[in-house]
């Protein structure tokens, strides 16, 4: 099975490391939830995987082939897509125009829309008129249309009520089911653990609960709490 691996990855910003020694395996078709308190280094780790920033130590590879020295564009071509924090849509463009930025052809657009029935109804609306939840659907649709092998999602729920975010969860699951490995950073921990196959916790710049079955972590609130406090 195709997989993206991190081994001993450290990311530094300014004065020193903000997250150190991360090992993980993101497998095709699976959701790995990466949770932990604010400032733990989750965003920095995702940025180092997609190439927004450089990592300072460790190895990054896909199916055994290192991509540690590749540029952001090369990583994107290798199938790593990154949904960064905030609503990364072009508000003045319609839903169709936003998705076509990656879908390119009408056939590819239609293929993607099959997984986004709510967007089909709003396809010619300017994206600015959509609700926050619908705008995030556009972001997901655009990322899915780029046909990623691995999708990094950074706090897609920011600014959304849990009930609105919950409408995005089946879509994220469907993306994974299509064969994409999804690395999900999420503040709504229990919602993330509820759809994830695997989970890990980072706190204060280190892994405080290593990768393991998501269900085992959600079934052990004391363990989860200890991990949030640093392990």
Interface residues toward ligand ATP, by CB under 6 A: 13-14, 18, 36, 38-44
**How far apart are CB 42 and ligand ATP at their closest, in Å?**
4
**How far apart are CB 41 and ligand ATP at their closest, in Å?**
4
Ramachandran sector of residue 11 (left: φ over 0; alpha: ψ -120 to 50; beta: rest)? beta
Pull the structure tokens for residue 61: 């590879």
* DSSP codes of every residue in 79-115: TEEEE-SS----TTSBHHHHHHHHH-SHHHHHHHHTT
Helix axis angle for 132-145 and 95-103, nearest 10°, is 20
Closer to ligand ATP by Cβ: residue 122 or 209: 209
Is-contact 5 28, C-beta < 8 A? no
**How far apart are CB 20 and ligand ATP at their closest, in Å?**
11
Closer to ligand ATP by Cβ: residue 134 or 155: 155
Closer to ligand ATP by Cβ: residue 44 or 102: 44
**How far apart are CB 53 and ligand ATP at their closest, in Å?**
8
Closer to ligand ATP by Cβ: residue 84 or 97: 84
Q: In whole angstroms, what separates CA 118 from the centre of its chain?
A: 21
């Amino acid at each position: 099975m195709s997989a993206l691996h991190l081994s001993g990855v450290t990311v530094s910003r300014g004065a020193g490391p903000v997250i150190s020694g991360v090992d993980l395996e993101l497998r095709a078709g699976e959701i790995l939830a990466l949770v932990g308190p604010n400032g733990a280094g989750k965003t920095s780790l995702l940025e180092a995987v997609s190439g927004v920033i450089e990592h300072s130590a460790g190895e990054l590879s896909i199916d055994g082939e290192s991509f540690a020295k590749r540029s952001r564009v090369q990583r994107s071509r290798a199938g790593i897509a990154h949904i960064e924090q905030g609503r990364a849509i072009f508000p003045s463009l319609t839903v169709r125009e936003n998705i076509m930025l990656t879908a390119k052809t009408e056939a590819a657009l239609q293929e993607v829309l099959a997984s986004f029935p709510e967007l089909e109804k709003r396809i010619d609306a300017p994206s600015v008129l959509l609700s926050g939840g619908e705008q995030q659907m556009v972001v997901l649709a655009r990322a899915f249309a780029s046909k990623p092998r691995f999708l990094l999602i950074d706090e897609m729920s920011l600014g959304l009520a849990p009930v609105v975010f919950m409408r995005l969860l089946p879509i994220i699951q469907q993306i994974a089911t299509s064969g994409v490995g999804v690395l999900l950073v999420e503040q709504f921990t229990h919602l993330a653990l509820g759809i994830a196959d695997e989970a890990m916790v980072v706190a204060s710049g280190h892994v405080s609960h290593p990768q393991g079955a998501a269900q085992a972590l959600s079934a052990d609130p004391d363990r989860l709490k200890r991990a949030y406090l640093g392990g």
